[in-house]
Structure 1
Amino acid sequence: MKLQEWLEKGGAEGLGWLQLENFPDTGRGVKTLRPLKFNDVVLTIPGSFLWSVDAAFDDSVLGPTIRSVKPSLSVEDILAVFLLFIKSRQEEYEGRGAHIKLLPTSYTMSVFFSDEELEVCSGSSLYHLTQQLKQQIKDDYFHLLNNLFSKHPDLFPLEKFTQNDYMWALCSIWSRGMDFQLPDKQFRCIAPFADMLNHSPDVQLCHIYNPRSDSLQVLAGKDYTIGEQVFINYGPVPNNRLLRLYGFILLNNPYDSYDLVLTTHHGAPLYDQKIALLESAGLQVNATFSLKLSDPLPLDVLRYLRIQRLLSSEISTMNVNRGAKNIVCARNEAEILKALIEAFEGLLAKFGTPLEDLEAKISSNIYKQSDNVWAAAHVSIGEQRILRMALQKTRELLALIICAQCGKVDEDNKRCARCRRVVYCGRDCQKTHYKEHKFVCN
């Protein structure tokens, strides 16, 4: 069966029980015309229909040309060129051309936001990554222009291979691509018709690629009744990534996160010893930690900083301290917690619009649902909530290290026996501080 025929019959290998439909909440998606049980096969896509690097290389016209580019093109660029190449000559590629016609003509990823729309989430990771991504797209396009398009104008007419066309192809790959870890490599592809299925975190992961049969299967991630929309699950994706790579957000996304980057400069004191300790603890020198709603201050953040802030007299302690899983000493712990508080306060101060103002504009409909500014606001709200939770958690931990009255850091500081949420260096400080503390104690 040819790709075009397969697409016209619903992609279900002639069964005809899947149908494209416009849904009010998600836009275009796929509905089932028969009941489905969890793990039923929804559709099977032959490998010859997939858009992949191998498929691009196997094309008798395109393949030799893109293979010859030095340095070699990335997987994304090969797929982007492949899409644009087929799009530019759809009449010659009836099957893949039919799939191209089903793809959106425009996308809503953050790279298409205006400066004013993106400014709503200034200070967020989405804001900074989008700015970097826009520049990266320009750089990568000019690399393709100089090393491929301009050298083969007969294959790549420039009016059909503009930077905007390249952005469209990239967004098609980001929003519709599927990644699989095979025994010998990472495999990325776009699967016709399966790329029309929308994401839901409420279904099980349900798409698999079998290299032996060279086919991709989509299974039912839950039970479905007739007329229901069939979903796939992209995985635990936070809103900052959903909007950047897929063009939408989920309200109250349980997977929202903020990526905290920690690094140790090579000129830091005791650098070699600390790097050895980090590696023995399974931590990288340049590390990114995902702060989440469920865990706003991961233990690994503390472990990393405990090692980073060690004094020479404390190095030997670390050798038996399981990679700083436990507190090294009061001095070290107070230093890292104070540094974290300063860092979190600084990160929150960089957000252009505070969380409360964003929530007010959403509730008063100043930011209308599904507009770009509405989506950007939700990303900013999610990240600010996580950073505030991380800040609160850090302050609570610091309160168990320094005397609540005089701020003294000592191994012998004792917790308040009633609430156990603050410590004191002695009875005098405890008595003095009680007038203030009694309102929150217990």
Structure 2
Amino acid sequence: METTKLREWLESGGAEGLSWLQLEGFPDTGRGVKTLRPLKSGNVVLTIPGSFLWTVDAAFDDPVLGPTISSIKPPLSVEDTLAVFLLFVKSRKEGCEGKRAHVELLPTSYTTSVFFTDEELEICSGSSLYHITKQLKQQIRDDYLQLLNNLFSKHPDLFPLEKFTQDDYMWALCTIWSRGMDFQLPGKQFRCIAPFADMLNHSPDVQLCHTYIPQSDTLQILAGKNYTIGEQVFINYGSVPNNRLLRLYGFVLPNNPSDTYDLVLTTHPLAPLYAQKVALLESASLQVNATFPLKLSDPLPLDILRYLRIQRLSSSEISTVEAKRGARNIVSARNEAEILKALIEACESLLAGFSIPLEKLEANIASSVYQKSDNKWAAAHVSVGEQKILKMTLQKAKELLALVICAQCGKADENNKRCGRCRRVVYCGTDCQKSNYKEHKVICKTYTAD
């Protein structure tokens, strides 16, 4: 791979570390960066001065592009500014030599979910990725038309339309999503693309190792672990679930421990006792329109139960919850049974919405019905991860419900008593316990043995 121009440009401005790093094709990740010398964890691997970074400020500082985009009302978003900047440099025949050298090394295509065919995307129908990708495709079309009308068509000398098509715009967005780095600085969020550093691939097995230093205006890559000569050097994007990895970066990690399913809860303004419930939610540090990530390690967060307890309060229960400051504990057996039944119904409905059930997807992956690393294979892994989490949430809700309602008659009562042996079910009295014994005894013995 020809990186001479990019190396010369970066080294001329003080970049450090390029002499012991080399682009290489790897079987599992494709293009990446290998080290030509041993590295110890924490060593500075690469330093890129801020003057080489693709940033919003750099776009506005460009003597040709800057005055034009700064006059746009309303102002362009960070993503659109960077996308226009990338396409502008890519379209230039003269000037911006260093940045053009970087653009020439960027991929010509991406495997993010917005490029999936309908058939490929259908594999994960029912997942959050499926719905977000559908929305994202429409959003890209709308945003491109706005750019076309407000910027490109008004300045055809700067933005020749044959080089600023919707496909070009999608390419630029995917470049930003897959290669951008975000840093939280005092008072603002800072996003950039760092030449050469953006060639490093992700691994969850290394420490977080990329940082921006405002005082010196430099971006540094540190060794996230010890490396030997010839090894691929990785960075860590953080705990990223497969639905986000595929949407932004174009790949997935099988059995990703960071997988999540985002459960959205909201309370309608016309709901009974709305004002009181909003006040209680706020006192419990919960938002009225809230998104809760369900995780493999925590498939049913306590905050979901707290939210639902408040949402399903009866008028007689309001004062009880106020006394308990936000329903941290069970309000009543009635309330708890209602929210758990609603949660079980919601999980079952969500699981039924997946076009291909978990068991079939896992069988298809194991038997190579989907070719490893192709789009269908990646979509299948996203669906598998989300369905596993929802099944765990469903199981947890059922286990909690079994501790609230009588296993025989289904009565929800504060006086229900747990089975003395397994402690996994409750009964409203001895009559129900005796009536349910034949059905329960096998399960009870299993729990006791465990």
What are the Cα deviations for residues 31-58 of structure 1, in whole angstroms up to 9, with x where unaligned? 1111111110001100000000000000
How far is 1:322 from its partner? 3.5
| CA distance in 2: counterparts of 1:159 and 1:60, whole angstroms | 23
| CA distance in 2: counterparts of 1:438 and 1:16, whole angstroms | 70
Give the match for residue 55 of structure 2.
Answer: 52
Match of 2:304 among 301, 306, 322: 301
Letter paired with 2:429:
G
What are the Cα deviations for residues 392-425 of structure 1, in whole angstroms up to 9, with x where unaligned? 0000000000000000111000000000000000
Q: How does 1:24-43 map to 2 (within 5 A)?
A: 24-43=27-46
Residues 154 and 395 of structure 1: is their aligned pair in 2 closer, same or farther, counting only changes over 3 Å? same
Match of 1:334 among 324, 328, 337: 337
Give the match for residue 174 of structure 1.
Answer: 177
> 1:259·1:289 contact (CA, 8 Å) conserved in 2?
yes
Letter paired with 2:166:
Q
SS at match of 2:443: coil
Give the match for residue 386 of structure 2.
Answer: 383
| CA distance in 2: counterparts of 1:210 and 1:275, whole angstroms | 42
Residues 14 and 302 of structure 1: is their aligned pair in 2 closer, same or farther, counting only changes over 3 Å? closer
Give the match for residue 346 of structure 1.
Answer: 349
Give the match for residue 401 of structure 1.
Answer: 404
Letter paired with 1:438:
K
> 2:10·2:48 contact (CA, 8 Å) conserved in 1?
no
Question: Does residue 1:268 correspond to 2:271, yes or no?
Answer: yes
Task: Give aligned-pair identity as a percent.
Answer: 80
> 1:6·1:14 contact (CA, 8 Å) conserved in 2?
no
Where does the alignment leave 5 or more consecutive residues of structure 1 unmatched?
none
| CA distance in 2: counterparts of 1:12 and 1:391, whole angstroms | 52
Give the match for residue 222 of structure 1.
Answer: 225
How far is 1:13 from its partner? 2.4
Give the match for residue 371 of structure 2.
Answer: 368
SS at match of 1:92: coil
Question: Does residue 1:19 correspond to 2:17, yes or no?
Answer: no
Letter paired with 1:224:
Y
Give the match for residue 323 of structure 1.
Answer: 326
| CA distance in 2: counterparts of 1:4 and 1:61, whole angstroms | 25
Give the match for residue 434 of structure 1.
Answer: 437
| CA distance in 2: counterparts of 1:6 and 1:160, whole angstroms | 25
| CA distance in 1: counterparts of 2:312 and 2:331, whole angstroms | 10
SS at match of 1:224: coil
| CA distance in 2: counterparts of 1:321 and 1:160, whole angstroms | 62
What are the Cα deviations for residues 80-118 of structure 1, in whole angstroms up to 9, with x where unaligned? 000000000153211000000110000000000000000
> 2:124·2:380 contact (CA, 8 Å) conserved in 1?
yes
SS at match of 1:122: coil
SS at match of 1:325: coil
> 2:17·2:46 contact (CA, 8 Å) conserved in 1?
no
Letter paired with 1:330:
A
| CA distance in 1: counterparts of 2:275 and 2:246, whole angstroms | 40
| CA distance in 2: counterparts of 1:370 and 1:245, whole angstroms | 16
Give the match for residue 161 of structure 2.
Answer: 158
CA RMSD of aligned residues (A): 1.4
Letter paired with 1:305:
L
| CA distance in 1: counterparts of 2:280 and 2:231, whole angstroms | 53
SS at match of 1:91: coil
How far is 1:381 from its partner? 0.5
How far is 1:7 from its partner? 4.8
Give the match for residue 69 of structure 1.
Answer: 72
SS at match of 1:439: helix
Question: Does residue 1:91 correspond to 2:88, yes or no?
Answer: no
The count of residues paired between Structure 1 and Structure 2 equals: 441
Give the match for residue 118 of structure 1.
Answer: 121
Residues 123 and 412 of structure 1: is their aligned pair in 2 closer, same or farther, counting only changes over 3 Å? same
| CA distance in 2: counterparts of 1:137 and 1:190, whole angstroms | 21
SS at match of 2:234: strand
How far is 1:14 from its partner? 6.2
How far is 1:320 from its partner? 2.4
What are the Cα deviations for residues 7-42 of structure 1, in whole angstroms up to 9, with x where unaligned? 589x96265100001010000000111111111000
Letter paired with 1:153:
P
> 1:278·1:284 contact (CA, 8 Å) conserved in 2?
yes
Where does the alignment leave 5 or more consecutive residues of structure 2 unmatched?
none
With structure 1 as the length reference, what TM-score do the two structures score? 0.98
What are the Cα deviations for residues 242-268 of structure 1, in whole angstroms up to 9, with x where unaligned? 000000000110000100000000001
| CA distance in 1: counterparts of 2:116 and 2:41, whole angstroms | 38
The farther-off stretch of 318-327 and 56-65 is: 318-327
> 1:90·1:96 contact (CA, 8 Å) conserved in 2?
no
With structure 2 as the length reference, what TM-score do the two structures score? 0.96
SS at match of 1:175: helix
Question: Does residue 1:80 correspond to 2:83, yes or no?
Answer: yes
Residues 57 and 179 of structure 1: is their aligned pair in 2 closer, same or farther, counting only changes over 3 Å? same
| CA distance in 2: counterparts of 1:23 and 1:14, whole angstroms | 21
What are the Cα deviations for residues 128-183 of structure 1, in whole angstroms up to 9, with x where unaligned? 00000000000000000000000000000000000000000000000000000000
How far is 1:4 from its partner? 5.2
How far is 1:313 from its partner? 1.1
Match of 1:136 among 136, 139, 143: 139
Match of 1:282 among 271, 285, 294: 285
> 2:124·2:354 contact (CA, 8 Å) conserved in 1?
yes
SS at match of 2:182: strand
The farther-off stretch of 209-218 and 78-87 is: 209-218
How far is 1:62 from its partner? 0.2
| CA distance in 2: counterparts of 1:113 and 1:415, whole angstroms | 51
| CA distance in 1: counterparts of 2:230 and 2:219, whole angstroms | 24
